[in-house]
Amino acid sequence: MLTVDFVAPGWEPVRDALVANLESGQDRGAGVSVMHRGRLVVDLMGGHRDRNGEVPYGPDALQVVFSTTKGITALAVAMCVERGLLDYDAAVAGYWPEFAAHGKGGITVAQLLGHRAGLYTVDGPMTLEEALDWDTVTSRLAATAPLFEPGSTHGYHALTYGWLAGELVRRVSGMSIGEFVQRYISGPLGVEFWIGLPAEHDHRVAHLMAHPIPSFPPEIAKFMLDHGGPGSLGEKALSLNGAFGPGAFNKPEVRAAQIPGANGIGNARALATIYAATIGEVDGVRLISEETRSLAAASVTPAGEEDVILGHPTVFGKGYMLDSTRNNYGGPDGFGHDGAGGSVACAVPSRQLAISYVMNTMLTSYDGDPRRGAYINAAVRCSESA
């Protein structure tokens, strides 16, 4: 059942959690990796990566991780801040003059990254073809008036976050977000993670599937429909006004495009390694300093503030999601990002711990995906006695 099975002594409970989920069918194909004190202590893959259960989810498998991508994009921005190319407190328009249209001139980089810009979708309809063209999306965003008063609240920019943050990286570094990630993140660490997958690797990508939507109590079902159903703000944010429909991320042209809020592709080992290199050294490589990491992971969300898109409180740093009652990232100082259907990557600096889980079978849940919670909790328990 496991095609990759490396577990350092004392970390077996993480393996047990994955085996249990594979045996129960909650996971059909998945990978889990854990780094502790800069060292790989768990590296697991198992199940299958195709719809028919014929192709093993093995060491060559790659996975779309949806919004878990946002954490890597946040890291790219943080690296630009550390290099003096960006300032979290500066106005976005200072780097991207066209962005100032329709009263957006005062929006800061921190507000943009904290989902406080009011740009959770574009003005008007958009086709998939248009959404796969970088200049089309960024110009439409620059020309869109805020959909709520910037800075007054926050609302999850489910897709637009990536183009907004990625355009800042492009403006100040002279390279696309995908190029930046390869040159300064994946390359130095020797890991496989892309935003914009090269065609020669597309055949390795696990096919995305979904578990049947479970039955929820009526009040929860209504809440989920109101915030994610047809015509809702969530539906507009998650589909970019209909551009991304069901099955879109199984299309090669979508995987090849640069959608830095949603279409990062890699494996669990890559994500855990990247996060480990934000809180310490991995084989001599550290991606950002402790000072920059602290800035990036500092909350920009007032305590208890409700996310106007998701309908419940969420807590954001400068692009990262932070540990909270709804998002378990391993401890009070935990930061990271999770993705639609279950994936997650996060780090807990106080524990010198980085954890990642990727999967090909998406689960609809209300209180957080129980699979990722099991892996994170098991890793935290193991770290306490390591």
pLDDT in tens, 304-357: 999 999 999 999 999 999 999 889 999 999 999 999 999 999 999 999 999 999
The answer to whether residue 42 sits within a structural domain is no
The answer to whether residue 367 sits within a structural domain is yes
Which pLDDT belongs to residue 226? 67
Which pLDDT belongs to residue 230? 83
DSSP state at residue 36 = E
The answer to whether residue 386 sits within a structural domain is no
Which pLDDT belongs to residue 219? 76
Q: What share of the chain is helix, strand, coil (3-state, %, to 5)?
A: 40, 20, 40
Strand partners, 32: 44, 357
Residue numbers of the domain that contains 283: 61-372
Query: In the chain, which stretches have pLDDT less than 70?
Result: 214, 216, 220-221, 223-224, 226, 366
The answer to whether residue 8 sits within a structural domain is no
CATH of the domain at 274: 3.40.710.10
The answer to whether residue 197 sits within a structural domain is yes
Calculate the dihedral angle through the C-alpha atoms of 208, 209, 215, 221, rounding to the nearest 10 degrees. Answer: 30
The answer to whether residue 299 sits within a structural domain is yes
Which pLDDT belongs to residue 221? 63
**Based on the structure, what is the number of domains in the chain?**
1
Contact 359, 62 (CB under 8 A): no
